Amino acid sequence: MRLVIARCQVDYAGRLDAHLPMATRLIMVKADGCVAIHADGGAYKPLNWMNAPNRLVEGDGAWVVTNPKGETLTITLGEVLSDTDWPLGVDPGLQKDGVEAHLQVLLAEHPHSMEEGMVLIRREHMTDIGPVDLLCKGADGCTVAVEVKRRGDIDGVEQLTRYVEFLRRDARHGTVRGLFVAQQIKPQAKVLATDRGLTWVEVDYDELRGIESNVLKLF
């Protein structure tokens, strides 16, 4: 991971335009190509970012990051205060809690509960940026990367987006699409998933375990 602390101006051009005036910020360039700009606040969320795959060109006084959609992130550098590179190696990923881990096992045993006609290829399919929870084959013939969460939020959608982008680089997988699965998915995560071209589905953990849900139903 490359960490650059610099006075910079950031301009995004794409689905909408966004401008960050000159100020001191942290620029992170990850091994997978993701570029993120952070301020000294705002918790984990960057002020702006460009996910991989993309192309970073470092020019005289400015960096230009371009993705395959033609969106650009231009970072105009005023003064570079620090520029360091720290190889972090392969991250083992977040350890799932008991319910989430069991939910993944149940979905692997019953992939049709996520989508009619879906079959499992393998669990924990490893990529350069971590393991995909479930790699499946859809009834449409597509390879499906499935990210499983107990509660689905925006971070899970971002994670699945990165996995899908990496899988698409390998022609052996053919056409690749992503499916976000959770017991509950936040409205913002549903919107982001749809915007990213991903599908999502909410599943009933008790039904998967063969236990009748205690939620009253009409039928």
Structure tokens at 39: 């301020």
Do 6 and 78 belong to one domain?
yes
Do 108 and 200 belong to one domain?
yes
Percent helix / strand / coil, the chain, rounded to 5: 20, 45, 35
CATH of the domain at 50: 2.70.180.20
SS3 110: coil
108 within domain boundaries: yes
Give the per-residue pLDDT at 117: 95
Give yes or no for a contact between 204 and 211, defined as CB atoms under 8 angstroms apart. no
Structure tokens at 137: 């084959």
91 within domain boundaries: no
Residue range of the domain that includes 28: 2-85
Question: CB within 8 A of 107, min separation 6: which ones?
Answer: 113, 114, 134, 146, 148, 181, 203, 208
Q: To 10 degrees, the CA torsion angle through 208, 211, 216, 219?
A: 70
215 within domain boundaries: no
- State which residues of the chain have pLDDT below 70: 43, 90-98, 211-219
Do 20 and 51 belong to one domain?
yes
214 within domain boundaries: no
Question: CB within 8 A of 89, min separation 6: which ones?
Answer: none
CATH of the domain at 144: 3.40.1350.10
Do 42 and 112 belong to one domain?
no
Do 28 and 127 belong to one domain?
no
Q: Which of 28, 53, 85 finishes a domain?
A: 85
Q: What order do you get walking across the sheet with 48-50 strand by strand? A: 48-50, 35-38, 17-29, 2-13, 72-85, 62-66, 55-58
In whole angstroms, what is the distance from residue 197 CA to residue 53 CA? 15
Give yes or no for a contact between 80 and 4, defined as CB atoms under 8 angstroms apart. yes
Do 30 and 61 belong to one domain?
yes
Structure tokens at 218: 């009409």
Give the per-residue pLDDT at 218: 47
Give yes or no for a contact between 32 and 129, defined as CB atoms under 8 angstroms apart. yes
Is the peptide bond prior to 53 cis by the omega test (within 30 degrees of 0)? Answer: yes
In whole angstroms, what is the distance from residue 106 CA to residue 173 CA? 24
Give the per-residue pLDDT at 212: 46
Report the chain's terminal Cα–Cα distance, integer Å.
Answer: 54
Give the per-residue pLDDT at 94: 54
Q: Which of 85, 107, 141 finishes a domain?
A: 85
Structure tokens at 104: 């993944």
* Per-residue pLDDT tens over the stretch 146-201: 999 989 999 999 999 999 999 999 999 999 999 999 999 999 999 999 999 999 99
